[in-house]
Amino acid sequence: MDHDRPPPSVIIGPSAIKVLGEVMLGAVVGTACVYVFILIFGFIANPWLLAHALTIVEWVVAFFACFGVIGVIVARTCRRPRVEIGPDGFVCQGISGFRTRRWSDVEGNFVVGRSDLFRPMVSYRLTDDAFKALAPKRRAATAAVKKDDEAIIFCAELEIGARELAEMLNRWKNEAAGAVEAPK
């Protein structure tokens, strides 16, 4: 038994606790935004909002609580979001879709960045050929952000952190490049 060989693939799945934490953070921020909206527009435009503020906020909290329960159930049963890493490349599976990338599609290293103030992400640069192979609609959306960068933005919900994910992806990519160069 050879302990130096990597496994055929690795799946980094969601952490139910982290998913619940992200949803609850969104619930607090969302509820605060609704409350501020009620206060501002209640005084300016419609006093009905002020009269029913408690009921509206209760409904918003109930909505976010249901959303949180559904998020945890989806994370536990569907194992999404997740990243599957293998010798040929990796697959990012979000809640509603997936993206497959071969190691040869990625130029340079995977790096850790921030999608906003709190949420870490792992970004990478596509090769020119991989960028040109994108569908025109997807290419236009990617070009609006930065010419040929993509990112794994759901790192905050995964079992491991963004830094560990970037290190793991770099290790697998380098091992795949070494395996391709070795037979020559």
Same structural domain, 106 and 47: no
Tokens of 144: 């609006």
Beta partners for residue 118, in sequence order? none
Per the domain annotation, does 4 fall within a domain? no
Residue appearing with tokens 């919900």:
157
Higher pLDDT, 142 or 167: 167
Same structural domain, 71 and 89: no
Per the domain annotation, does 95 fall within a domain? yes
**Cα separations in angstroms, 112 against 31, 151, 153:** 30, 9, 10
Length of the chain: 184
Domain assignment of residue 123, given as a range: 82-181
Residues 101-134: pLDDT tens digits? Answer: 999 999 999 999 887 777 899 999 988 888 888 7
Per the domain annotation, does 91 fall within a domain? yes
Residue where a domain terminates, one of 78, 98, 120 = 78
Higher pLDDT, 7 or 170: 170
- Tell me if residue 159 falls in helix, strand or coil: coil
